[in-house]
Amino acid sequence: MDHAAQPDAGRVIDAVVDHYAGQGLLGAIEAAIIESGKSPETVTVDELGPVDEFHIGGPVATAELCARLNLGRGAAVLDIGCGIGGTARFLAATTGCSVTGIDISPAFVAVARTLTAWTGLDDRVRYEVASALDLPFEDASFEVATQLHVGMNIADKAALFVEVSRVVAPGGRFGLYDIMQVSPGEHGFPVPWAGDATSSFLGEVAEYRRGLEAAGFEIVTIRDRRAFASAVFASLGAARGAPAPLGLQLILGPQAPEKIANMVAALDAGVLAPVEIVCHKPVR
């Protein structure tokens, strides 16, 4: 998309923030924790995974991406579009790295901070309200950056990748996992990331590749995860009875069945698919 054709940024930000308002979310999560036989004092990162890893495949997808990023203890990691902090907590708990999460939704950041305190990880994980297009960090501040199901809400992906490249140090890595347009066609709304087209900006793999390479990244791997996603949704469909108390329905809200149905229909039609891309920022 030509830069001059970008939608009004303020209107898009308002739409995204409204979509992820999360009103009453912390209370709903606390009630679900208690219903599950736990408490805020005893809940673990693994137990929160079904609700706080807000992307297809949840912790499994996060772990597979993480394995390709060469994360080590003490590494400085930036999680872009952190939501309520699930990926940041997972990375800190499983690798010992230090994670900074940013999200444009103040409500999500507030919940992320509380859940991180509950799980005892607030010494290794912090959060800030910020735009991915204007990161409040110095150049080369991080060794690794992650982005899981975020690009669908950002129209100017070229600008996004330039900003990510700015804050990732030479020799570092950037791993992303987004829903992408993989063939021509339309999809219904609402979907998990948008109530309508106002804040939905699906890109193609070629667009991502061009933007990443123009920003100075070298592509390491690109994986179409459609088969993985189909298996995830098939397992959800095979489940009987009411969903477990801690689940994505707490974030998706009352339209959860419709959002998931539209996503599955687009996936089955071969129009959309989650795609994982791992990049390296070379030392020049």
- pLDDT cut 70: percent of the chain above it: 90
Domains and CATH numbers, the chain: 3-280 (3.40.50.150)
In tens, the pLDDT along 134-177 reads 999 999 999 999 999 999 999 999 999 999 999 999 999 999 99
Q: Say what the pTM is.
A: 0.92
In tens, the pLDDT along 50-109 reads 999 989 999 999 999 999 998 989 999 999 999 999 999 999 999 999 999 999 999 999
| Cα–Cα distance for residue pair 245/43, rounded to 1 Å | 13
| Cα–Cα distance for residue pair 138/144, rounded to 1 Å | 14
> Which two tokens mark 111?
């919940």
Q: Residue 103 in contact with residue 127, Cβ under 8 Å?
A: yes
Question: Over 80: is that where the pLDDT of 17 sits?
Answer: no
- Over residues 104-128, mean pLDDT: 96
Q: What is the pLDDT of residue 253?
A: 87
Q: Residue 87 in contact with residue 77, Cβ under 8 Å?
A: no
Residue with tokens 């990331």: 193
As beta bridge partners, residue 126 has 100
Backbone angles phi, psi at 126, to 5 degrees: -135, 160
Q: Residue 230 in contact with residue 272, Cβ under 8 Å?
A: no
In tens, the pLDDT along 29-46 reads 999 999 999 999 999 999
Q: What is the pLDDT of residue 13?
A: 53
